[in-house]
Amino acid sequence: MVLLLPCGPLAPLGYPSPMSQLPALAQLLSGRRICTLTGAGTSTASGIPDYRGPGTAARARNPVRFAQFVGDPAWRRRYWARSFSGWPALRDARPNPAHAALARMEGAGLLTGLITQNVDRLHSKAGSVDPIELHGALAEVTCLGCGALSARDALQERLAEANRGWSPPPAPELAPDGDAELDDTGGFVTVDCLRCGGLLKPHVVFFGENVPRERVDRAFAALDAAEVLLVVGSSLTVFSGMRFVKRATTQGTPVCVLNLGPTRGDAEATLCVDADAATALPALATLLGAG
Ligand SMILES: NC(=O)c1ccc[n+]([C@@H]2O[C@H](COP(=O)([O-])OP(=O)(O)OC[C@H]3O[C@@H](n4cnc5c(N)ncnc54)[C@H](O)[C@@H]3O)[C@@H](O)[C@H]2O)c1
Ligand SMILES: [Zn+2]
């Protein structure tokens, strides 16, 4: 469903039919250089849950903080046991029509950059070239000792080897960060860096960590080169994403939001479209002449 709402909490009754609102968004974007900022809602149609979407409120989330991960072996065991169970589903997730539409828009030269808060690599799988992965990617692992980067798949093999006798509950539910909802992770064995024996950590920004400055600067450069910011599938609850709305607003760059439900950026947006990204983005791309 696509519904154009004047941004803000009060929505009068009697809107025109939802899909008929996309041309207004296309009109605002047309002929303008676009910077896109995507969030978890872009990937829900690929089977990866979000944190704060419709139906997700009931899910209790307790993501590990950086200090807990580094300071407490029990937290590391919990993290890696859940990640071990959830990784195959995340690794095998396929991009959906929203990712494909953004890749087409990029291919048509409409974008100054694609900034994503997602850690699932689905933009790259859809063909986007060098998306700015603000929070990193679960497909990579970093060593906190020597800084070496390695493939998550290789670690999966090592974890499988070290945990031959350990099996997760059948068909655990995939959780938003590529891990799985597991209650009992006792007995799971973690492994360390093969090169230096240091702690291994997914190459993503944990709560309690900052996004590396160089990444933020690249994302700012993409925004500064744009004439409009298009936010897709993000509640903008996390400052890391919201900062781009703030900067756009400060610079007088219009902001459009395409999201199911309200976001923290609505009050600063020129246009809010309450829509499923996997339905609306392909239609939008077509209206913009990007197939
Ligand atoms: N796929 C992933 O990589 C993933 C998944 C969950 C969380 N995260 C991480 O957690 C943080 C969450 O922040 P966020 O703002 O990205 O996510 P969020 O969960 O806070 O917000 C997602 C928003 O998308 C909307 N949404 C859900 N499905 C949609 C759809 N089909 N079309 C349009 N909108 C839809 C929801 O209503 C919600 O408002 C990020 O920093 C990210 O790193 C990543
Ligand atoms: Zn190391």
pLDDT, tens only, 241-270: 999 999 999 999 999 999 999 999 999 999
pLDDT of residue 277: 97
Res 39: pLDDT: 98
**pTM of the predicted model as reported, rounded to 2 decimal places:** 0.92
Amino acid symbol at 60: A
- The pLDDT of residue 160 is 95
Q: Which of 48, 51, 90 most suits a substitution to test ligand 1, by most atoms within 8 Å of the C-beta?
A: 51
User: What's the pLDDT score for residue 1?
Assistant: 44
Query: Over the range 159-187, which residues count as b (16 or more CB within 10 Å of their CB) and which as e?
Result: beeebeebebeeebebbbbbbbebeebee
Residue 91 near residue 155 (C-beta atoms within 8 A) = no
**Cα 259 to ligand 1 centre (Å):** 9
Q: How far is the CA of 164 from the centre of ligand 1 (A)?
A: 34
pLDDT at 166: 83
CA of 187 to the centre of ligand 1 (A): 32
What CATH number did the domain enclosing 122 receive?
A: 3.40.50.1220
Structural domain boundaries, residue 268: 2-287
Pairwise CA distance, residues 132 & 111, whole Å: 12
Q: What is the pLDDT of residue 26?
A: 97
Nearest CA to ligand 1 atom 2: 118
C-beta of residue 163 within 8 angstroms of C-beta of residue 189: yes
Is 45's C-beta closer than 6 angstroms to any atom of ligand 1? Answer: yes
Which residue is it, tokens 């007088």? Answer: 252
Domain count across the chain: 1
In short, whether 137's Cβ falls inside 6 Å of ligand 1 is: no
User: Which pLDDT score is estimated for 11?
Assistant: 42
Atom nearest to 262 CA in ligand 1: 39
Residue 159 near ligand 1, beta carbon < 6 Å: no
- Cβ of 206 less than 6 Å from ligand 1: no
Of 38, 50, 274, best ligand 1 pocket probe by most atoms within 8 Å of the beta carbon: 50
Cα 41 to middle of ligand 1, angstroms: 4
Q: What pLDDT was estimated at residue 112?
A: 98
Please name the residue that has the structure tokens 């240091």. Answer: 198
Q: What is the pLDDT of residue 169?
A: 61
> Where in the sequence numbering do the catalytic residues fall?
135
CA of 56 to the centre of ligand 2 (A): 37
176 lines ligand 1 (CB under 6 A): yes
For residues 44 and 55, what is the distance between their CA atoms, to the nearest angstrom? 12
Residues 6+ apart with CB under 8 A from 268: 7, 245, 246, 248, 249, 255
Q: Report how far apart, in Å, the C-alpha atoms of 153 and of each of 91, 130, 287 are.
A: 9, 21, 39
C-alpha to C-alpha distance for 216 and 22, rounded to whole angstroms: 30
Kindly state the tokens that stand for 243. 């900062």
Per-residue pLDDT tens for 68-111? 999 999 899 989 998 998 999 999 999 999 999 999 999 999 99
**pLDDT per residue as tens, the chain (291 positions):** 444 455 644 444 445 445 667 999 999 999 999 999 999 999 999 999 998 776 655 554 667 899 999 999 989 998 999 899 899 999 999 999 999 999 999 999 999 999 999 999 999 999 999 999 999 999 999 999 999 999 999 999 999 999 998 876 665 566 666 666 666 667 899 999 999 999 999 999 999 999 999 999 999 999 999 999 999 999 999 999 999 999 999 999 999 999 999 999 999 999 999 999 999 999 999 999 998
